[in-house]
C-alpha cells in the first residue's frame, strides 16, 4: 500500500506475505468456513491432516528432484485428493466424502458461482500438517474456532455489513463480494498494479511469501506480482519490473535482504546448515530461498 499510495515515503520496502487483496482474502476465509462447517462432518480432523500431507508428498515430493518432505513449487503438484476417499468405512488413513469435499474447496479457493471466476487462490498442498498451519487457521479440533473464520466473520459482519446477526452461511459469493469490494475493499485493498511513481522515486520492492502460509495463500503474492509486472510490461517496456518476489521453501517468516550494490536478495546468503544428530552430522537443508520462475 505504501508503494502504491505513498510512493515517496520509502525508497525500500519489504512486503512480507502481503495481505494486499484484503477483501478477497477475507472472502476466502468465509469460503473455507462454509466448507468446513457445512455439516458437522465436514471439517477435517486434525489427525487426518498428516494423512493428507503424506499423500501429497507421496505424489509430488520427488518432482523437484529431492525427496525431502518439501515441495519446491507446489504449483507443479497435480495431486488428486479423491484418492483419499474412504472405500471401506471411515478410518484415519482416508477421508469421508464430506471431508474430501472440504479439502477440495480449501485447495481451490472461492469462485464466483455466476461467472466461475476465481475470487482468491486456494491454499497450496504440501504443508497441511505443519505446525501452526491448517490446524490453527482452517481446521482446528474445534472447527468453529479456526482463526480464518474469526477474521472472516468480523470483517464481513462488522466492517462490511455492520450487522451483529450476520450469518456466514448466507454469504453470496457474487453479490456480497462486490458489495464488500466497494464498501471496504476500496479503502483496505492494495491491488493497484501501477507502481510507476514508486519506480520514478527509485524505489525497490522486495516481496516474499512462505508456501506453508495458511493465513494468506502464497499464490496471492504471485498473482499480485504478475499483475504489477503485466502492467509495467505494457506501460513501461523499457523499465525493469520493480518487484522481486521470492518464496521461502517451508520456512514462512525468514528473510535476509542484502542491499549493497544489488536489488535482489543474495540467494547464497542463507547457507546450508549442518546439525548434529548424535555423533553424525546431517545436512538439514541445502536451499531456503528460491526466486519465482518468470
Ligand atoms: Ca522435494
pLDDT value of position 291: 62
Q: Which residues, at least 6 apart from 3, have a Cβ–Cβ distance to it below 8 Å?
A: 10, 13, 15, 195, 198, 203, 205, 242
- 206 is in which domain, residue-wise? 2-19+190-291
SS (H, E, C) 219-248: HHHHHHHHHHHHHHHHHCCCCCCCEEEEEE
* Torsion region of 21: left, alpha or beta (phi above 0 gives left; psi -120 to 50 gives alpha): beta
pLDDT value of position 258: 38
Ligand 1 center–CA 64 separation, angstroms: 5
Ligand 1 center–CA 37 separation, angstroms: 33
Which pLDDT tens digit goes with each residue over 238-262?
Answer: 545 555 555 444 333 333 343 444 4
Residues 89 and 61 in one domain: yes
Q: Which residues, at least 6 apart from 108, have a Cβ–Cβ distance to it below 8 Å?
A: 122
Cα atoms in the 13 Å half-sphere on the side-chain side of 96: 13
Please provide the average confidence, as pLDDT, over all residues in the chain. Answer: 86
Ligand 1 center–CA 133 separation, angstroms: 19
Ligand 1 center–CA 74 separation, angstroms: 10
Residues 166 and 194 in one domain: no
In the predicted structure, residue 96 carries a pLDDT above the cut 50: yes
Ligand 1 center–CA 29 separation, angstroms: 28
Q: Which three cell numbers stand for residue 250?
A: 517451508
Residues 134 and 27 in one domain: yes
Ligand 1 center–CA 72 separation, angstroms: 6
pLDDT value of position 289: 55
CA distance 8 to 171: 39
Ligand 1 center–CA 281 separation, angstroms: 21
CA distance 94 to 50: 11
Ligand 1 center–CA 211 separation, angstroms: 13
Among residues 192, 176, 195, which one has the least CA distance to residue 184? 176
pLDDT value of position 200: 87
In the predicted structure, residue 180 carries a pLDDT above the cut 70: yes
Residues 173 and 203 in one domain: no
Residues 54 and 173 in one domain: yes
Ligand 1 center–CA 41 separation, angstroms: 32
Ligand 1 center–CA 65 separation, angstroms: 6
Q: Please give the share of the chain, as a percent, with pLDDT higher than 90.
A: 72
Residue range 123-149: mean pLDDT, rounded: 97
Ligand 1 center–CA 156 separation, angstroms: 38
Reported confidence tier of residue 129, pLDDT bands at 50, 70, 90? very high
| Domain end point (choices 142, 157, 188) | 188
Ligand 1 center–CA 46 separation, angstroms: 23
Residues 87 and 204 in one domain: no
| Domain end point (choices 157, 188, 219) | 188
In the predicted structure, residue 232 carries a pLDDT above the cut 80: no
Q: Which of 179-188, 199-208, 255-264 has the highest average model confidence (pLDDT)?
A: 179-188
Q: Which residues, at least 6 apart from 9, have a Cβ–Cβ distance to it below 8 Å?
A: 2
Residue range 203-210: mean pLDDT, rounded: 91
pLDDT value of position 137: 98
Residues 86 and 134 in one domain: yes
**Residues lying with their CB under 5 A of ligand 1, a single-atom ion:** 61, 64, 66, 68, 70
pLDDT value of position 233: 72
- Is the separation of the CB atoms in 191 and 224 below 8 Å? yes
| Domain end point (choices 143, 166, 188) | 188
Ligand 1 center–CA 106 separation, angstroms: 22
Ligand 1 center–CA 182 separation, angstroms: 42
In the predicted structure, residue 42 carries a pLDDT above the cut 70: yes
pLDDT value of position 243: 54
Ligand 1 center–CA 288 separation, angstroms: 12
Residues 171 and 276 in one domain: no
Ligand 1 center–CA 123 separation, angstroms: 18
CA distance 1 to 45: 37
Residue range 141-158: mean pLDDT, rounded: 98
> Which is more confident, 237 or 69?
69
Ligand 1 center–CA 81 separation, angstroms: 19
Residues 155 and 35 in one domain: yes
Residues 29 and 105 in one domain: yes
Residues 14 and 47 in one domain: no
Q: How many domains does the chain have?
A: 2
pTM comes to 0.84
CA distance 41 to 38: 8
Amino acid at each position: 500500500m505504501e508503494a502504491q499510495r505513498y510512493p515517496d515515503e520509502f525508497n525500500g520496502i519489504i512486503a512480507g506475505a502481503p495481505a494486499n487483496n484484503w477483501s478477497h482474502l477475507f472472502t476466502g476465509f468465509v469460503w473455507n468456513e462454509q466448507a468446513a462447517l457445512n455439516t458437522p462432518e465436514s471439517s477435517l480432523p486434525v489427525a487426518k491432516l498428516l494423512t493428507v500431507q503424506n499423500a501429497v508428498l507421496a505424489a509430488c515430493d520427488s518432482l523437484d528432484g529431492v525427496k525431502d518432505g518439501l515441495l519446491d513449487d507446489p504449483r507443479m503438484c497435480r495431486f488428486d485428493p479423491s484418492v483419499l476417499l474412504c472405500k471401506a468405512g471411515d478410518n484415519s488413513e482416508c477421508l469421508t466424502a464430506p471431508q474430501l469435499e472440504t479439502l477440495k474447496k480449501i485447495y481451490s479457493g472461492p469462485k464466483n458461482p455466476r461467472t466461475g471466476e476465481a475470487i482468491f487462490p486456494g491454499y497450496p498442498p504440501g504443508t497441511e500438517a505443519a505446525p501452526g498451519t491448517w490446524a490453527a487457521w482452517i481446521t482446528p479440533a474445534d472447527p468453529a474456532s479456526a482463526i480464518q473464520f474469526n477474521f472472516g466473520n468480523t470483517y464481513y459482519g462488522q466492517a462490511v455489513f455492520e450487522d451483529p446477526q450476520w450469518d456466514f452461511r448466507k454469504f453470496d459469493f457474487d453479490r456480497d463480494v462486490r458489495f464488500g469490494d466497494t464498501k471496504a475493499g476500496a479503502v483496505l485493498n492494495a491491488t493497484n498494479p501501477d507502481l510507476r511513481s514508486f519506480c520514478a522515486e527509485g524505489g525497490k520492492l522486495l516481496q516474499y511469501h512462505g508456501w506453508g502460509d495458511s493465513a494468506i495463500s502464497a499464490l496471492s503474492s504471485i498473482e499480485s506480482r504478475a499483475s504489477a509486472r503485466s502492467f509495467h510490461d505494457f506501460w513501461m517496456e523499457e523499465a525493469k519490473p520493480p518487484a522481486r518476489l521470492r518464496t521461502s521453501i517451508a520456512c514462512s517468516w525468514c528473510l535476509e535482504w542484502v542491499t549493497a550494490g544489488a536489488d535482489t536478495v543474495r540467494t547464497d546468503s542463507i547457507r546450508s546448515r549442518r546439525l548434529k544428530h548424535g555423533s553424525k552430522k546431517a545436512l538439514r537443508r541445502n536451499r531456503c530461498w528460491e526466486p519465482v520462475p518468470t
